[in-house]
Structure 1
Amino acid sequence: MSVTVRVPAKVNVQLAVGAARADGFHDLANVFLAVGLHDEVTVTPADELRVTCEGPDADQVPLDRTNLAARAAGALAERRGIEPAVHIHIAKDIPVAGGMAGGSADGAGALLACNTLWQAGASRAELLAICAELGSDVPFSLVGGAALGTGRGERLTTLEVGGTFHWVFAMAERGLSTPAVFREFDRLAEGLDIPEPVASQELLGALAKGDPDALAAAVSNDLQPAALSLFPELADTLAAGRTAGALAALVSGSGPTTAFLVRDAESAVKVAEALGSSGTCRKVRTASAPAPGATVLSA
């Protein structure tokens, strides 16, 4: 028997970042939107825990117990007093180290898959608690749709979305470390008065109405200056997307993937073609949002 779970990527349509806390984390107002780029995580009984991976940039994915999928299996097994004896196979389509929560998605996918395979009976609340222990973005990968994340981003409030939003994503030539981007944020913010992060009511209203123009006017990412400081070439990609007609252009999360909100599917094709021929990025993908969270495909 095996269980396969599909999990979505995310884009942050708002990422408001507070000052560094005593524990080194930052309080966030993080508006997540799940998009239709997916990884598939399959778990199968095995003699011991092991991880394999295929797909774009699979060679960059750790296959030891630092992998979030392996950690998720171990966390659930420990709670149930069993051995995490499974083979976890990840079919990757979410960019690796791209600011789209691919690793977090794999953690959520493995957790749901193991809960199903082992018939462990973990409730939704228990699964979300384990997700929060694994990482700030992991709970949203389980939930999907749209949500406001507070605290480190792990405390979720689901949000209403009144329509479909169309996106183009440009993958960069190299990755960016999320901790490095936060350190650069702290460096750039040194000596400044950093306000408490709060969700934009204009942005929440645009999501609820399904209005791409209003959403374009409200998107923001407080980590974008830090990402551009570490990876200045991203500014050329952002400019290329705007020139091609994107309604909004921003770095996705901690980057380096750049995200472009467009009016409709036809516009997505046009912007994607322009970005693909611009010489400013490695690969271009289109996707719509919102997308469902972690979903069991087969068991």
Structure 2
Amino acid sequence: MATPVTEPEAVRVRVAGKVNLALRSGHRRADGYHPLATVFQAVSVFDEVEATWAEPGTFTVRMLGEQAALVPEGDDNLAVKAARLLATTWGAGRPLGAELVVRKSIPVSGGMAGGSADAAGALLACAVLWDIDISPDELRVLGARLGADVPFCLAGGTALGTGRGDELAPVLSRGSYHWVLAFSAGELSTPAVFGKFDELGLGTDPLEVPAEMLNALVSGDAQALSRCLVNDLEPAALALRPELARIVEAGTEHGALGSVISGSGPTVAFLAANESAAVDLSVRLSSEGLCRAVKRVSGPVPGARLVV
């Protein structure tokens, strides 16, 4: 096994953000969590995580790229937590350490699992760097200890999430879907959105994602999918950030088939009929000046993958 002194090896992993096509939430439980039923889709906005050897017991991270200054670089960073957790639980007492570099494109506190993506990237990168024999399923189980979205960020594609969103089942999805993402100028904290959700007395019972959505994904029908996009957290996000309603309205006016606030927001995802329609929508939405940035993406895409 190479050591940090004799061979400064580096491993790079690319990991995608996600959009929640459906997010149904129940009432807050006694343990503080909300039961969820959600359909995730990984889309083509990516962070890149690079891991290199460090002195034993040393775990650091350097954040680069869009909104990097908004992410802590200390022990609270999810990528650092992921590397430490992997070393502690699967390192078999070996003298492990890692220096991480994260290049961000996924929005921070944007409802697209940016922090969870970085944790997933760090898990895979460090497992390869340290030559740890861990299966994809075992890595996803470990990832769930870091956050409910981490297992999906490792898996990617399209999946049904239940429990806290970390119990995954793959969903058959034909074709590719074209999205226009409107990135807000501000952030939204997930705990704040769930707090407002509770305050508003919201909650779905029983927790079921629309059967029409699963049928639409199987058939690859973007029109049908647009009619069943749903997010139970959307009223709470709009209550905290009323200006998001104007972004949703503008996207609809400019030809989006449908829209959904992703996760706890504030990113708004607009579904377009095809690539040409997505190009037109992104240009028109950008001209409105209502958001920090607009990006065209497609999905589904794979989860965390090594960059060769």
TM over 0.5: yes
Q: What are the equivalent positions in structure 2 for 1:3-42 lying under 5 Å apart?
A: 3-42=11-50
Amino acid at match of 1:10: K
Counterpart contact for 1:52–1:89, Cα < 8 Å:
yes
Write the letter of the residue equivalent to 2:141.
A
Indicate which of 45, 55, 78 corresponds to 2:53: 45
Identity %: 49
- 1:70-85 correspondence to structure 2 within 5 Å: 70-79=80-89, 80=91, 81-85=93-97
User: For residues 203 and 162 of structure 2, what CA distance do their matches in structure 1 show?
Assistant: 20
CA distance in 1 between counterparts of 2:261 and 2:277 reads 19
Q: Give matches, 1:130-209, under 5 Å.
A: 130-189=142-201, 194-209=204-219
SS at match of 2:105: coil
When normalised by structure 2's length, the TM-score is 0.94
Output aligned runs, 1:283-294, within 5 Å.
Answer: 283-294=293-304
Alignment of 1:258-277 (within 5 A): 258-277=268-287
- The size of the alignment, in residue pairs, is 296
Q: Contact (CA 8 Å) 1:166, 1:264: kept in 2 or not? A: yes
Which of 204, 210, 220 is matched with 2:230 structurally?
220
What is the CA deviation profile of residues 191-241 of structure 1, one whole-angstrom value per residue up to 9, with x for unaligned ones?
Answer: x67412112111011111111000001110000000000000000000000
Cα distance in 1 for partners of 2:203, 2:104 equals 40
| TM-score (norm. length: structure 1) | 0.97
Which runs of 5 or more structure 2 residues have no equivalent in the other structure?
Answer: 1-8
Conserved 8 A contact 1:33-1:289: yes
Counterpart CA distance in 1 for 2:130 and 2:205 is 45
- Residue 282 of structure 1 and its aligned partner are, at CA, apart by 1.0
Name the residue aligned to 2:245: 235
1:142-178 C-alpha deviation (Å, 9 max, x unpaired): 0000000000000000011111000000111100000
Matches within 5 A, 1:49-60: 49-60=59-70
Residue 22 (structure 1) shift: 0.9
Task: Give the RMSD, CA atoms, in angstroms.
Answer: 1.0
Q: Against the structure 1 CA distance between its residues 194 and 207, is the aligned structure 2 distance closer, same or farther, given a 3 Å change threshold?
A: closer
What amino acid is aligned across from residue 41 of structure 1 in structure 2?
V
Distance 2:12 2:59 in 1: 16
- Equivalent residues of 1:247, 1:262 under 8 A apart: yes
**Which residue is equivalent to 1:127?**
139
